[in-house]
Structure 1
Amino acid sequence: MGAFIVLEGGEGAGKSTAVTVIREYLISKGVPPEDILETREPGGTEIAEKIRTILKEKNPREQLTSESELLLMYAARSQLVNCVIKPSVSQGKFVIGDRHDLSTVAYQGAGRGIPLDKIAAIRDLAIGSLTPDLTIVMDIEPEAGMRRARKRGDLDRFEVENIDFFHRIRNCFLEEAGKHPDRIKVVDAGQDLEHVKQDIIKTLENSGICSAG
């Protein structure tokens, strides 16, 4: 069967925890652990991880332009999609992604202000028509998310942006979910952990794509 399931959301939304919940759910449905892959973006392959370092690190000597940021995101994503995601799903495996293309629409589109038609042109070249079978947006107030992010330690190049940047991103995630309610679902990540887990599981149950066994 196989499926590509993606977690999206702003900083501190709890995507890593959600990945674990999904993995445990799939295993409970009889999916062998070796048939479940976890990916992160940017990153996920040797080359993509090197690109991730460039994108995440703060460089006081040279400012990364928004256009370079966009191109690097898709360079990393192209490696991941073509070397890992597509082959794995075609083999009947389940891929759980910590971020994917919707993050670019939110961060580089709404956040940086890059026109969506330009993003779409690069997307078409880099990954073609690949669309996740299910996207779960972990929604949280940006202020609350950043409080969580600060507790993790040093902030990366994205996390030091102003709060308005993160509000634009959050609004974009919610707007996209409203446009595509069949494949993009929203979970309130500001709840207590147990309720968040229950909502993720309910979303998986209702999706119908995780019933392999």
Structure 2
Amino acid sequence: MTALFVAFEGGEGVGKSTQIERAAAWLRTRGRDVLETREPGGTPLGRELRRLVLDPDSHHVTPRAEALLYAADRAHHVDTVIRPALAAGRDVLTDRYVDSTLAYQGAGRGLPDARVVTTWATGGLLPDLTVLLDLDPRVGLARAGARSSFDRLEAAALDFHEEVRAAFLALAAEAPERYVVLDAHRSSDAIAAEVAEAIGTRLFDVER
């Protein structure tokens, strides 16, 4: 079985976790073997790095150090989880991947070298499909705040989150063949139907 690699991206509160669960269930009904994972935190090492970069008390983490911690998580995640799963014929659905670093650290933190670090960390591995769930940051932050206390990135100023959203949309415009951009203001059912359609199209491509 030829494996499919799908990344789900977007700002805070866009519903990535819900859509990954629904997409994984949809794939499994079609006989696919699916791995759901996330960044940071898809490995034991990643869970420790996630705590360091997202803990609200970690205000001392500088932007460059933050980017490198994410890169360390991603390199380990790719080498020990993503590539082995794909090689075994398993579809991989990840909550965040390279474009989050380019949006959050590259644009939000103003680090133009983030693309170089990210390419090195992944060994050039890109998803077959990137699902960008697009949402007004005000709405997304309100959703995120309603379910839990803010982590370190969620607590950043609104203009930071607006920069992140703009960067995601710019990345999608650069690579329309890899991206599908979906309006995350809509119902979960409506979004899930479009995610399934996009994944189904990519499945036909990889299986052909």
**TM above 0.5, one fold?**
yes
Are 2:39 and 2:95, in contact at CA under 8 Å, matched by a contact in 1?
yes
Q: Which amino acid counterpart does residue 163 of structure 1 have in structure 2?
A: L
Are 1:26 and 1:210, in contact at CA under 8 Å, matched by a contact in 2?
no
Are 1:43 and 1:77, in contact at CA under 8 Å, matched by a contact in 2?
no
Q: Give aligned pairs, total.
A: 206
Are 2:19 and 2:188, in contact at CA under 8 Å, matched by a contact in 1?
no
Q: Which amino acid counterpart does residue 183 of structure 1 have in structure 2?
A: R
Distance 2:12 2:171 in 1: 18
Distance 1:121 1:200 in 2: 29
Are 1:43 and 1:76, in contact at CA under 8 Å, matched by a contact in 2?
yes
Query: In the alignment, is residue 127 of structure 1 matched against residue 122 of structure 2?
Result: yes
Alignment equivalent of 1:86, drawn from 75, 83, 88? 83
Q: Which amino acid counterpart does residue 64 of structure 1 have in structure 2?
A: V
Distance 1:147 1:111 in 2: 19
Aligned CA distance change for structure 1 residues 120 and 194 (closer, same or farther; 3 Å): closer
Query: In the alignment, is residue 172 of structure 1 matched against residue 173 of structure 2?
Result: no
Are 2:38 and 2:96, in contact at CA under 8 Å, matched by a contact in 1?
yes
Distance 2:66 2:108 in 1: 12
Cα-to-partner distance string for 1:23-58 (whole Å, 9 max, x where unaligned)? 111112221xxx211111011111111011000102
SS at 1:7's partner residue? Answer: strand
Cα-to-partner distance string for 1:38-90 (whole Å, 9 max, x where unaligned)? 11101111111101100010226x51100000000000111100001001101
Q: Which amino acid counterpart does residue 24 of structure 2 have in structure 1?
A: R
| Unpaired runs of at least 5, structure 1 | none
Are 2:106 and 2:115, in contact at CA under 8 Å, matched by a contact in 1?
no
Give the superposition deviation at 1:209: 5.1
Equivalent in the alignment of 1:189: 184
Query: In the alignment, is residue 75 of structure 1 matched against residue 76 of structure 2?
Result: no
Distance 1:121 1:180 in 2: 17
Are 1:29 and 1:211, in contact at CA under 8 Å, matched by a contact in 2?
no
Give the superposition deviation at 1:202: 2.0
Aligned CA distance change for structure 1 residues 68 and 54 (closer, same or farther; 3 Å): same
Distance 1:140 1:3 in 2: 26
Q: CA RMSD in A?
A: 1.5
Q: Which amino acid counterpart does residue 107 of structure 1 have in structure 2?
A: Y
Query: In the alignment, is residue 41 of structure 1 matched against residue 39 of structure 2?
Result: yes
Equivalent in the alignment of 2:148: 153
Cα-to-partner distance string for 1:123-150 (whole Å, 9 max, x where unaligned)? 2332211001110001111011011001
Equivalent in the alignment of 2:10: 9
Distance 1:5 1:57 in 2: 27
Moved more, 121-130 or 159-168: 121-130
Are 1:111 and 1:169, in contact at CA under 8 Å, matched by a contact in 2?
yes
Distance 2:186 2:115 in 1: 34
Equivalent in the alignment of 1:205: 200
Moved over 2 A (4+): 205-212
Alignment equivalent of 1:66, drawn from 41, 63, 70? 63
